Amino acid sequence: MAGKHEQRAHALLSASGASRWLNCTPSARMEEEFHESQNSVFAQEGTLAHELAEMALKAHLGLISLDEGKIQANTIKSNELFSEEMPSEVEKYTDYVIEQFNQAKLKTPDAVLLLEQKIDLRDYIPDGFGTNDAVIIADGLMYVIDLKYGKGVRVEAEDNSQLKLYGLGALDAFDMLYNIDRVKLVIVQPRLDHVSEWEISAKDLKEWGEKVVKVKAKEAFEGKGLCVAGDWCRWCKAKARCGTIAAKVMKLTDHEFKSPNLLKDESLIKVYDQIPLIEDWIKSVHDYMYAEALAGKEWKGYKLVEGRSVRKWKDESLVITELETDFGKEKLLNSKLKGIGDIEKLLGKVAFAERLKYLVLKPAGTPSLVPISDKRPALNSALNDFADI
Ligand code: SF4
């Protein structure tokens, strides 16, 4: 049976997809044409991390007994997606929540911490709902804290539609009771050592709900409005077949390559700007057509063929038994030191730092060409220094 965290079912207009359907309202209905993608390993791992975080916070608050906590912890540990690093990573989130709650209690003894609160967004979004990981309310300020266990993409709280919806739902639920005038939205991404906070007044958040969410959600629910391509296309299930994003990519080709002469710097930079979009789109078309072909669809002019394969032992132990007397085990087996990450997991971060840090070499990373807005310092001046030598 699915756990509580797994049951965070996806509504047509889900909070996690809000950035997409608020910007491109027809996308919600367009996505319905496509299969629900399998719950990825990463999503399942995130679910497990949320279960661990909830258990740890409840144990800290005395909401579950020690025995109950142990039973839950053992169930989580027996999951194949559990890793040695998970408790210490999740702890960064639980530490943050506990720290903020302690601070709130210093301001007012009436401070409350609420975990895994279901929120009802139906006043704004048809069938809209969600779950808040942690909410702290004290002295007119409400923290809405979201744990994101993934480490792929760094997510900022500022003007984040998903977090704003979570805040809106929490406001609706608790404003009457606690008189909230400010909402602090927080994303904790422990595996990126990233905490992002952003504050908005309760008034502005409600106004956004009334003037933007209600209007766009109605359009989206009815499948109306304009298709608009942007960053939000990244997770859109309709992307491979979407004419708007295809047109956007093709338009670039139309405009930039009309001239048979060499491209000017400005044109090349414009192309470079679009590489993530183009690569992402090409991959989505490839993955979609390939998955459909595997499912039996025939694409005109294409066929599925068997790829190159590599020979494998059927049973390694039988190979060793067969050859051991001829050559001895050493000649048959390779042994190689495990990678740094695996050894760090084996030892734990603290012991690893104490015993092996001096044996770890960290060469300079390969330079990347990134937009000027990137927070890392530019390498150019250092490279020029080398050139002068
Ligand atoms: S790919 Fe982008 S433009 Fe196309 S439907 Fe999805 S969100 Fe809209």
The whole-number pLDDT of residue 6 equals 46
Last residue of a domain, one of 270, 294, 318: 294
- How far apart CA 2 and CA 191 sit, in angstroms, is 25
Binned at pLDDT 50, 70 and 90, residue 271 comes out as confident
- Answer whether residue 9 is part of any domain: no
The whole-number pLDDT of residue 325 equals 94
The whole-number pLDDT of residue 258 equals 61
Whether 33 and 126 map to the same domain: the answer is yes
Average the pLDDT over each of 52-61, 82-91, 367-376 and give the range with the smallest value: 367-376
Whether 66 and 138 map to the same domain: the answer is yes
Calculate the average pLDDT of the chain: 89
- How far apart CA 225 and CA 366 sit, in angstroms, is 44
The CA 129 to ligand 1 mean position distance, Å, reads: 23
Whether 186 and 259 map to the same domain: the answer is no
Binned at pLDDT 50, 70 and 90, residue 186 comes out as very high
Q: Write the residue with the smallest CA distance to atom 7 of ligand 1.
A: 233
- Answer whether residue 358 is part of any domain: no
Number of structural domains (the chain) is: 2
- Answer whether residue 315 is part of any domain: no
- Answer whether residue 196 is part of any domain: yes
Nearest to 143 by CA among 174, 100, 175, 85: 100
Last residue of a domain, one of 171, 190, 221: 221
Last residue of a domain, one of 172, 187, 221: 221
CB 72 within 8 A of CB 55: yes
Average the pLDDT over each of 88-92, 290-294, 349-353, 382-386 and give the range with the smallest value: 382-386
The CA 85 to ligand 1 mean position distance, Å, reads: 36
Among 24, 278, 281, 288, residue to substitute to test ligand 1 (most atoms within 8 Å of Cβ): 24
Give tens-digit pLDDT for 200-221.
Answer: 999 999 999 999 999 999 999 9
The CA 157 to ligand 1 mean position distance, Å, reads: 23
Whether 104 and 202 map to the same domain: the answer is yes
Whether 205 and 255 map to the same domain: the answer is no
Whether 117 and 205 map to the same domain: the answer is yes
Domain that includes residue 264, residue range: 238-294
The CA 32 to ligand 1 mean position distance, Å, reads: 13
Whether 82 and 117 map to the same domain: the answer is yes
The answer to whether the pTM exceeds 0.85 is no
Q: What atom of ligand 1 comes closest to residue 233's alpha carbon? A: 2
Among 21, 227, 237, residue to substitute to test ligand 1 (most atoms within 8 Å of Cβ): 227
Whether 156 and 122 map to the same domain: the answer is yes
Nearest to 245 by CA among 292, 208, 282, 216: 282
- Answer whether residue 148 is part of any domain: yes
Structural tokens at position 344: 């760090």
Phi, then psi, of 213 in degrees rounded to 5? -60, -50
Whether 215 and 243 map to the same domain: the answer is no
| In the predicted structure, residue 380 carries a pLDDT above the cut 70 | no
